[in-house]
Amino acid sequence: MKGSIIDEPWITLILKGEKIWEMRIGTWKHRGLIGLIRKKSGHVVRVAELTDNRPPLTNLVAYAEAENFHRIPSDRQGSAFAGGWTTPWVLKNAQPLRRPVPYIHPNGAVKSVNLSDDVAAQVQRQLAG
Residue 111, classed as helix, strand or coil, is coil
Into how many domains does the chain fold? 1
Whole-model pTM? 0.91
Beta partners for residue 21, in sequence order: 90
Q: Write the CATH number for 85.
A: 2.30.130.30
Output the pLDDT for position 108. Answer: 84
Q: What is the pLDDT of residue 93?
A: 95
The pLDDT score that the predictor gives to residue 111 is: 76
High-pLDDT (> 90) share of the chain, %: 91
pLDDT digits (tens, 9 = 90+) for 28-46: 999 999 999 999 999 999 9
pLDDT at 107: 87
pLDDT tier, 60 (very low <50, low <70, confident <90, very high otherwise): very high
Domain that holds residue 16: 2-128
Which of left, alpha, beta for 22 (phi over 0: left; psi -120 to 50: alpha)?
A: beta
Nearest Cα residue to 68 out of 25, 13, 31, 26: 13
Q: How far apart are alpha carbons 127 and 121 in whole angstroms?
A: 10
pLDDT band of 76, cuts 50, 70, 90: very high
Q: Which pLDDT band, with edges at 50, 70 and 90, does 18 fall under?
A: very high
Q: What is the mean pLDDT of residues 65-93?
A: 97
* Average pLDDT, rounded, for the chain: 95
